[in-house]
Chains A and B, each alone.
Chain A
């Protein structure tokens, strides 16, 4: 996945061929900054009450916390092609997918804080985020996203609607039988489904080389004759191009596609992870590929942005996050009695 940055001529050729405009890439840059800032701010608040003694139940944000710092390009590169009526089913690491799908940051943050103003009125929490308006859902159960997205895709195809469903999952989840089952069903029924594997190299603490029989997950998709892309998940442009083809293909009725985006999470599997399974040097090496400065540099080389523009976009994103977090922190907790209602409609 290590590849040199393109020459300016090649970069110009690539963006022109892909139909990328300055506006699109600046929006992508801002979106990635939004996700980065959101995740880092959540991390900051998460450790309140959890230091020096780490106690998962303490502080304003309780429970496990899986952040996606480093994986922004995957979510944004896919999400930019999606509309409100398209469905996204995400995973236990869902914030970046939610924000990229258009889920409002304030309600998202409030849910993570367990507040009544949250997406799910405090009943879901960080791993169980739902937004019906934006057709976003997720599951804390690894491997669950594939068939659920296929089900939404089935409904779209069945009703003749031009919508697409996207399943996100990690490379660890892709070892689950549901992937093979879903690929089979998606081809069988020609579903408008795009499966996006965020291959961040580790399933919890287990490195890919210890859990995967072949080098890449996309090879499994090929076994079902599903068009598959292997992309640099730290390169917004690479993800965006593949996602555009896959999503347009699905929307046009030509069936499922598969994208394996090789990426890296800069933080642990969960907050509090001691990360014994990888070296500092490895993390630092991947820092060189940070998708945000990487896109920023390209924007500058293309002459589509200067430092001041990038700084402004970053600040705007940070301000949006600050407002969202403030909204979450200032919102009330749910009435305890609300726990007892809502099992059935």
Chain B
């Protein structure tokens, strides 16, 4: 059975609910995870069903509740931990990158770290520099985290169930403008989502739109903006392929390279900071596998290495928009083919 669902928040909450119903090892920890559903809805409805023994509002102490997740995981629990905004990672990152991400390796494989971290990312609604970042590149940079960025409700549910069945630390980055919550703009689409449980495999990118003139690679919200840009480009007779990475770690280089070889032109679009991040990493893999097939140098569009500013025209300037993506795609096509 399927039904129409708007946004990733309910999909993630439903995934956790369905796994919690079957398993006793899952507990949910974090700030405001009960009444407010971790603010962005990822845990909504759980405490009514499972109570405060399993869905636990913590004091505002990221270092401590991530440390507790590490300790609980080391004796067989599977904590689901909310990092309300990814921007707050600094308050608890030591326990994440030095412990949760490393203990399996450092212990020679003795201690599994089945910790699922839920965090809200992204801007576009006026929350400014400390509440609008994406920062998945930081997590993807550190060995030991799987980095999941759902763009659709279907994926959000299936990827979350995969995370809850994974014996490794998985961070799920849910974009605020894809949550479908009434107090935020919604840039996703309503879609059919099965009621039953299913998984979406990590490391498999999705081709959201097939095309032949260029490949646009993105994750999360930027997938939707690329799709809208592709609609506009189509009106000008340009055929754009859009790839949704779904997971940054593991990264599906095969699908990226195959698409790059097919179209010969690649634009990478990212809402994270531009330098030393996802765009550079993806570009490396694309050129490594498809350099001979590329007709022009790879281009990228990302936050131009400035904090996210508050005022609307300023924010609009730094977060890649549909218009910017269209312009960048046209610039890519205008670049002369290599001799």
List chain A positions with a Cβ less than 8 A from chain B: 87, 89, 118-124, 128, 130-132, 135, 137, 139, 141, 144, 146-156, 158-159, 165, 177-178, 181-182, 184-185, 188-189, 342-345
Contacts and interface: CB of A to CB of B under 8 A. Distances in A.
- Among B67, B94, B104, B109, the most chain A Cβ lie within 10 Å of the Cβ of B67
A135 B146 CA distance: 25
Contacts of B116: none
B105 A87 contact: no
12 contacts: A87-B74, A118-B108, A128-B106, A147-B64, A150-B64, A151-B71, A151-B79, A152-B74, A178-B64, A185-B61, A185-B64, A342-B109
Residues of A contacting B: mostly: mixed
Given A124-B108, A130-B106, A132-B111, A150 B68 contact: yes
Interface stretch (B95-103, B148-156, B255-263): B95-103
Contacts of A132: 74, 107, 110-111
B8 to A, nearest CB: 24
Nearest to A152: B71
B103 to A, nearest CB: 7
Contacts of B104: 342-345
A337 to B, nearest CB: 14
Interface string B276-309: 0000000000000000000000000000000000
Contact of B70 (A148, A158, A159, A342): A148
A2 B217 CA distance: 69
Interface string B49-90: 000010010110101111111111111110100000000000
Interface string B233-255: 00000000000000000000000
Contact of B72 (A124, A131, A151, A344): A151
Range for the number of chain B residues in contact with chain A: 35 or more
B168 interface: yes
B67 A345 contact: no
Contacts of B72: 151-152, 154-155, 158
Interface string B139-182: 00001101000000000000000000001100000000000000
B53 A120 contact: no
Contacts of B75: 87, 135, 152, 155-156
Given A119-B108, A185-B61, A345-B104, 11 more contacts: A120-B107, A123-B105, A132-B107, A144-B94, A151-B69, A154-B68, A155-B76, A185-B58, A343-B144, A345-B109, A345-B112
